[in-house]
């Protein structure tokens, strides 16, 4: 695919690296000389220096032949204009990073007369096929985690019927046994195991060790029972401390309040504290979140969860470790780079999340030739879980799984047909129009994709 990316900041640069790594023809538009030099040193792609809101710059980038234009500058308004212009010039698909929630859905314009119908603008009216807000995506994920019985990140497939959930192996019954000898209470597939900095897509004879992070794919209704095999349920969080009252911290607090969690926000800016206090019910405290004595005075240790959301990944990891030292049971930190996730979890952080990685997963699926429903990237993006719709002439269709020659580093986890979930057996046959859920090393994604169309 021919992909144009406007803006080479953290999100744009990350997507450019991902798309180029998958073999797409990528062009980046960026105004900053520093950003262009940095990206040029990292990737062998075409980079145009200039502002993407300029039609002449978009013409130079040849957006008229683009399969996708991704607008990821720091300006919501610029991103909307870039998508509108690109669509008018012939781009097939457009994606806009939009942080302001007011721009993200329907925009209802007032009328001069109550008798006249109000005008409703949708993102499609503005030439935008997909709006992505990394901060809101991350906030929604944290709400899901803290409302679960287990402290686990999760993704959904098959229209929510199937969940992919991470559990830390701490209970003895499953440890040091080959996977094919474990008596699971419900049908499931072991998708991925991470052990320190090592990541594997396990075979039947592989074993689960103490402390492994195990990703399970199963029916959503069975996940709580399966979780009890791996670890002790912690229960849903009823209180949380958020360190960092920026945009993402605010969104997290807002969503936790919606599910009845008592929230305390620690923010060093007095002005920002006042703004948050005007809009939320949360207790807002001005202070330095890295001051251990201050955290003790604020009785942070009594909270069920600590969420570190400052703009610095390294500080968030440090704050998480401080919370761990205080005895808080649930520690979640945000990191800007997916590569930090294994490092953070290795040093003791319960869950590290990258808003960039979560947002990129929503964009990446649009750049696949095969019909892709969902993409989830794990373990610092070394592995991905993909839900494909099997094509009519797909090489994988109408053959017993025992006869398929899947690349090493890939595995069929489950498939659905007419809403029914099946976990693969040697004699299972996947048919056209089935939804197949696959685990594979990210480096193999372009090879595996060819099996499905």
**Do 241 and 348 fall within a single domain?**
yes
Read off the tokens for 106: 């329907």
Question: With bands split at pLDDT 50, 70 and 90, how would you rate the model's confidence at 251?
Answer: very high
Predicted pLDDT of residue 378:
86
- CA-based Rg of the chain, rounded to a whole angstrom? 23
**Do 241 and 321 fall within a single domain?**
yes
CA angle 269, 274, 278 (to 5 degrees): 145
* Position 292 in a domain: yes
Q: How far apart are the first and last CA of the chain?
A: 16
In this structure, are strands 283-286 and 262-267 parallel, antiparallel, or unpaired?
parallel
**Tens-place pLDDT, residues 27-80:** 999 999 999 999 999 999 999 999 999 999 999 999 999 999 999 999 999 999
**Do 213 and 265 fall within a single domain?**
no
Question: With bands split at pLDDT 50, 70 and 90, how would you rate the model's confidence at 119?
Answer: low
**Do 223 and 249 fall within a single domain?**
no
**Do 316 and 282 fall within a single domain?**
yes
Chosen domain end from 211, 230, 249: 230
**Do 200 and 242 fall within a single domain?**
no
**Do 242 and 277 fall within a single domain?**
yes
Give the DSSP letter of residue 98.
Answer: -
Can you spell out the DSSP letters for 265-310? EEES-HHHHHHHHHH-SSEEEES-TT-HHHHHHTTGGGSSEEEE--
Chosen domain end from 132, 156, 184: 132
Q: How far is CA 54 from the centre of its chain?
A: 31
C-alpha–C-alpha distance, residues 252 and 264, integer Å? 11
Beta pairing partners, 436: 388, 415
User: Considering only CA atoms, which of 69, 70, 382 is closest in space to residue 213?
Assistant: 382
* Position 371 in a domain: no
Percentage of residues in the chain having pLDDT higher than 90: 76
Predicted pLDDT of residue 426:
86
Give the H/E segment covering residue 199. strand 198-200
C-alpha–C-alpha distance, residues 199 and 342, integer Å? 10
Q: How far is CA 158 from the centre of its chain?
A: 17
In this structure, are strands 25-30 and 46-49 parallel, antiparallel, or unpaired?
parallel
Least confident residue range of 5-9, 111-115, 192-196, 362-366:
111-115
Predicted pLDDT of residue 345:
86
> Which structural domain range is residue 202 located in?
169-230
**Tens-place pLDDT, residues 422-434:** 999 989 999 999 9
C-alpha–C-alpha distance, residues 318 and 397, integer Å? 49
Number of domains comprising the chain: 3
Q: How many CB atoms lie within 10 A of CB 3?
A: 26
**Tens-place pLDDT, residues 141-186:** 999 999 988 888 788 999 999 999 999 899 878 999 999 999 999 9
- Residues, the chain: 453
**Do 123 and 240 fall within a single domain?**
no
CATH code assigned at 290: 3.40.50.720
**Do 221 and 242 fall within a single domain?**
no
Read off the tokens for 410: 């890939």
* Position 188 in a domain: yes
* Position 210 in a domain: yes
């Amino acid at each position: 695919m021919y992909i144009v990316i406007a803006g080479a900041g953290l999100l744009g640069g990350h997507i450019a690296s991902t798309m180029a790594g998958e073999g797409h023809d990528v062009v980046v538009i960026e105004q900053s000389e520093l950003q262009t030099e940095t990206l040029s040193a990292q990737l062998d792609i075409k980079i145009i220096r200039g502002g993407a809101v300029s039609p002449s710059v978009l013409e130079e980038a040849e957006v008229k032949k683009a399969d996708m234009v991704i607008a990821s500058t720091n300006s919501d308004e610029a991103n909307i204009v870039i998508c509108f212009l690109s669509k008018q010039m012939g781009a097939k698909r457009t994606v806009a990073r939009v942080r302001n929630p007011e721009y993200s859905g329907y925009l209802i314009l007032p009328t001069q007369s109550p008798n006249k119908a109000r005008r409703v603008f949708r993102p499609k009216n503005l030439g935008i096929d997909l709006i992505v807000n990394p901060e809101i995506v991350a906030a929604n994920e944290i709400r899901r985690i803290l409302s679960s019985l287990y402290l686990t990140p999760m993704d959904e497939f098959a229209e929510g019927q199937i969940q992919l959930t991470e559990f830390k192996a701490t209970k003895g019954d499953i440890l040091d046994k080959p996977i094919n000898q474990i008596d699971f209470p419900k049908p499931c597939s072991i998708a991925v195991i991470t052990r320190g900095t090592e990541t594997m897509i396990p075979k039947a004879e592989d074993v689960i060790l103490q402390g492994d992070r195990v990703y399970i794919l199963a029916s959503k209704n069975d996940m709580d029972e399966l979780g009890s095999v791996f670890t002790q349920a912690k229960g849903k969080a009823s209180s949380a401390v958020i360190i960092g009252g920026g945009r993402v911290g605010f969104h997290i607090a807002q969503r936790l309040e919606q599910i009845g969690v008592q929230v305390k926000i620690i923010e060093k800016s007095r002005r920002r504290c006042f703004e948050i206090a005007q809009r939320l019910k949360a207790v807002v405290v001005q202070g330095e979140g890295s001051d251990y004595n201050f955290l003790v005075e604020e009785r942070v240790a009594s909270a069920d969860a600590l969420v570190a959301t400052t703009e610095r990944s390294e500080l968030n990891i440090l704050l998480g470790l401080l919370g761990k030292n205080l005895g808080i049971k649930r520690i979640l930190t945000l990191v800007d780079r997916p590569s930090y996730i294994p490092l953070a979890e290795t040093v003791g952080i319960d869950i590290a999340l990258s808003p960039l990685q979560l947002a990129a997963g929503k964009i990446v699926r649009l750049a696949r030739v095969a019909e892709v429903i969902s993409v989830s990237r794990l373990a610092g993006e070394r592995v991905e879980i993909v839900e494909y719709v099997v094509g009519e002439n797909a090489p994988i269709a109408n053959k017993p799984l025992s006869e398929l020659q899947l690349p090493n580093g890939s595995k069929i986890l489950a498939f659905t047909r007419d809403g029914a979930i099946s976990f693969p057996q040697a004699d299972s046959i996947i048919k056209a129009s089935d939804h197949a859920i696959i685990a594979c090393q990210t480096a193999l994604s372009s090879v595996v994709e060819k099996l499905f169309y």
